[in-house]
Structure 1
Amino acid sequence: MDFENAYKKYKDGVATEEETAFVEQELEKARKMTEIIDAYESKKAISDDCDEDKIRRAQKKYAKKNTLKILLISVAVLFASAAIILSAVFGTAFGAANKNRNYSQTQAEQIALDYVAREYGGSTKLAVEESEKSIEYSSDLRHSVYVYEVKVRIGFLTEVEITINAKTGEVVKVEID
């Protein structure tokens, strides 16, 4: 069937039922095509309200996921950067302190016992109660040294805390409790 002839008959009102149905069907197709073309030209998607809600929810969900990913990656990068910087800084200090350590912990304990015996009298019983090693940082990290903090008990009542430089073996600080 030819659309132009059927349309003329439809317009004039002399078309048969079959021609009328054909023309109305073709006109409906043309309307739909016009909507599609108009929507494409205005860059607007053809959708109903339900689809728009679904699209908004999907966009929110994707935005939250994307934001969370970005946040986690940023935090991981910050932690990695901090770890690298801290290991570089404190690695230098620990390396220098290890290189500058000339006295062991047992030697430091003996130095502390000798110091207490010499300064506070050797007639009473002396005992090392506790000793621990810690690092003493300097402004130039290459000059950092370990120090030993040794607690020596004199008798039952007096406790002397002595700090000894691991590089020189000198008594740096004395505290009496």
Structure 2
Amino acid sequence: MAKSPEEMANAMIANMKEKTGKTLDQWIAVAKKSGEEKHGQIVKHLKAEYGLTHGFANLVAHKFLKSDAGSAEGGDGALVDAQYAGAKADLKPIYDALIKCVSSFGKDVEIAPKKTYVSLRRNKQFALIQPSTKTRVDLGINFKDEPAKDRLEKSGSFNAMVSHRVKLEKPGDVDKDVKAWLKKAYSQA
């Protein structure tokens, strides 16, 4: 059975000193001292200056910024609640429809909230859900060799972690096409 993200992070933290020469707290101090404030900048700095693998640099950045579910006060639910707070509250039914859809695919679907989006994983990430504006949720999907067509557009500058994007403005936009695209990405993951 696959480990949860929390179990994987805990295993990495337990092995961090042996694998990298420093503890998590020491790496967090290095990240703080760097002066970098954005996740990608911290990851890039730790990889370039200290030779950390992407996995360790990513973990340190999340822990430093408290942007992972394990670091956020209140856990996963608090991260999702914060994403749909205030002006974006009307978008939560779109998120709920997407979660209902992917949850039907199997017990191996992992729903992993981050600070600004929710990652949908199996063996690897197959999609992500991000409330991008007050009126739109962006669904990022990872496909192999899928042409962009109509609503299924190339991700462009939206997010480098996915190949395609679908813009959703109401729960009804989570239609048969969106469900089929999600199922296909899930089956490829």
Same fold per superposition (TM over 0.5): no
Q: Where is the strand percentage greater, Structure 1 or Structure 2?
A: 1
TM-score, normalised by the number of residues in structure 1: 0.23
Query: Rg bigger for which structure?
Result: 1
Using structure 2 for the length normalisation, give the TM-score.
0.22
